[in-house]
Structures are given as C-alpha cells and as structure tokens.
Structure 1
Amino acid sequence: MTQTSTAPVLSADGVGKVFGHVRALEQVSFDLHPGEVLAVLGDNGAGKSTLIKILSGVYDLTEGELRVRGNHVVFGKPADAAAAGIATVYQDLALVDTRDVAANLFLGREFRRGPFVDRRRIYREAERILAGLTIQLPSVRVPIYLLSGGQRQAVAIARVLIGGADIVIMDEPTAALGVQESERVLRLVRDLRDAGKAVILISHNLQQVWQTADRILVMHLGRVAGIRRRTDSTVEEIVKLIVYGEAPATDAVEGI
C-alpha cells in the first residue's frame, strides 16, 4: 500500500466523547486511507468500542470532527454512517439464523418482481457476489445456523459490502474462530484491502494484526497512545503502548 498517493477516505480530528462526568475519548485523531488495513488495539476500557460506535453512527461525538472523503460529516444514527459508505461488522454479526445465506445477504433490500420477492434473482446475485469475494459456502440456500463461525463471518462481511461500503469496520472478527477459519477471515480482510477498501480492524490478537495490518493505532485510557506502521514497529513496542500508553502529541503527525 502506498499511502502517499491517496487522500484519506476517513479522518478523525480531535474527537472526544463524554458520558455525564466520564470522559471516554479525548483528542482522538487519525486518518484512514483507501487500500489500507488500520488495526485498532488497546486494553479493556481503552476507548476502542466508543470510537467505533462514533464512526458507525451509534454515538454522536461531544467534540471534534469527522470527515469522509474530505467532507465534514455528522452522524445522528447508524443509517447516516451507512449512507456515507461506512459499514460495521459487529461480533454478534446480526444474522438471522433461520434464514438462508441469500436471504441474509439481501435482508431489507430484496429484489422484487411486482408485489413478489424475486427469489431466483436473489439466489443468482448471492452466488455472483460470494464468487467475487472468493467465499466458498455449501450453497446460498443453506440456513445460517448450519454454517461454521468463519462462514457466518464471511456472510456478514459480504452483506455489508452489497450496500457499496468502501470503509469497513470489523470488530474482533476472529474472536470465536479456530486457526484455519481465522486465516480464511483474515485472507478476506486482505482481499478487501487489495480491492481498494479501507478497513478498520479491532483485535486483541497481535499475531493476526502482524499478518494483516498496514498500520496500528493503539488506544490507552481514551486517548491515542501511538500510531505506527507495522513494518516500522515491533511487537514489544506495541505491547508497551497498550500497557503503559504514551503522550499522543508524539504521534500528532503520522508521517504519511
């Protein structure tokens, strides 16, 4: 990935969030570029979840600014973030277990022929989309509850991409998966990056981060402890940032 050739697709500038007397985020700033995987790391309570919910439109921000493709945006609800091209895959995946793969992919945006759902087109389009993402499933007609954890994760990722998102946020996508299924999901993340998508990857697994991320943003006590290019950092440095934190002023300029 060559970050110098692309303008940020998403930028946070001095973002803060206060809940009553509790300051959950303070002066969070970063850029996200097309064709990049930005891993967000931090201990419990570091502010990762609050940041993701702001980017996803679940929370409004108390201070600071978000920009998408250079334009200032204000998200009052998740639909606003989705309309801006931001899709989030949460740990619970939000799939309907009793419906089949194709139905889940097009849930809420079904193709119709007159007053009826055009199931043949839905199945056809589902097969085309999954093939384009090199996602292999037994069939698009199989119910979700019969799929493995990794296959469910792949369906959830495919679903958010159907809406045309070019910014994908993934919340611990391999947390409940075994080694082989984790690798399949991480390969899909890399495929998204190679297709020009910008990916934010929330993870606790440093080994997987080192396999996948281009840059690493570490949160500590609601602030940005550091932003590092993976190739210019070490596991030891990242662990130190996670555990002890660091003055965010040293990373105000990312050197992009």
Structure 2
Amino acid sequence: MKRARIAWAGAVHDAVERDGQLELLTPAFKGRRVGFDEVVWLPPLAPVPRPRTVLALGLNYADHAKELAFKPPTEPLAFAKGEASLIGHRAFTVRPADVKFMHYECELAVVIGRTAKHVKRGDAQDFIAGYSVANDYAIRDYLENWYRPNLRVKNRDTCTPIGPWLVDAQDVPDPANLALQTTVNGKVTQRGNTSDMVFDVPTLIEYFTSFMTLQPGDLILTGTPDGVVDCQPGDVIVTSIEGIGELHNTITAPAST
C-alpha cells in the first residue's frame, strides 16, 4: 500500500493511493477522494512524540565513492540530520545565494516500524515499516571533510525532500534490487541500483542498533549512486526509485529581505 500525508481543506490528513487519487483516512472525511493536484504534500511520516532520529549514509555506493576519488568505507559512514530539513513532494528547496555547487542525492529512505535494539541482520526486515524516496541535497562549498560533513552541508531547512509515498515493507519484495534515477529539467543525470550499496539495509539496521535504539518513525537514508550535478534556482529535480515512487522538487533562490 502507498501511504501519504497531505494538507487539504485546512487540515492535515493521512491518505492512501487509490486508482490514481488520494483516499482520505481522516474519520470526518474517510473514503473521500481528492486529486494529486488538489493537496499540499507533506513528508509521508506520522508525527512522533519526540525528536525524530534521521541517520544518513555517506559514500554507501562504490561508484559514488569512486566518483569522489575515495575508497568505499569499511564500516558505515553515517551522520545525523535534523528533522527540520524534511519537506514533502513538490516542495521547494532553497539554494543559498553564495554557493557554487549544490547537488541532489537520490536515496532509498527506510522508515523504522517498531523499537529496534540489538537487531540481528537476519531479523532486520521485521523492524521496517516501509520505504520512501529521499533527495538529500548537499552543498559542496561547505564541505570540509567527507568523513565528517559539517552541519551546513546537510542540515539546512528544506534540504531533504521525501515522499510522495511511504510504501509498506511487505509491498517491496526485494529492496536490494531497485533501480534509481534522477532527472534535472527532464534530462537523466543519475542512474543506479540499490544492489550496488556497500552496506545493505539489513546490515545498516544491525550496525546502528548495536549501539543505539531506533524508534518507530525514525529514518535511515541509505546513500546515493554516482552522477550528481550542480542545481540552480528554477531547476526541477525528479528523483525516482523503482516500485517506491517519483519525488518532484524545485530549486529556488532565497526570499529577498
């Protein structure tokens, strides 16, 4: 099932995809259907009563590591992100006025479904609620160390679109073999496959939960293949993952003050 979270008619609703429309789950509107163009898309994540843990992987595709002249890491290279960076499908990402190189990163996003601590690799699938598409923008100008990117590289407001769907884990039979693609203004600039991850999803869950507890609604962004290019205000970026969805995002300049 494809689940969404949207704003419509002055309220926030959970919805599911039904015959090319959004079917609302809110009790007062249950069963009502609205078009994709009638709503504001939000990150397809339920609220949680705490700060959401967002973990992102660096250099987790061998071809991307090679593109940046690095050897693939020997253990997961991860950093934490703030939840304020998350925005929805068809939203706008701000490119700061003073930067020279800002690029997308098409990533498979893993949403944790239940409390996970000391999870073994073979049991990891039992702890996944579902999958989404994330686009984790990075600004190269601010990068001082690939192994420890500073906060401005990845933790800016609007820098991580996610959605449009949360696809139930049972509806993704082989998350280790999904085609990824990015287009910029309709031109294909990035292709890859999750089979090329250095550390696959079960390995990442085992690794993280060996020293920290993950809770329902927490996110793991699993890295990106090679093929990243600079994006300018006005560019429309579409990141897509086979069987998961197609996430649209537009780059914008900062608002004038």
The TM-score, its normalising length taken from structure 1, stands at 0.25
The structure whose Rg is larger is: 1
The TM-score, its normalising length taken from structure 2, stands at 0.25
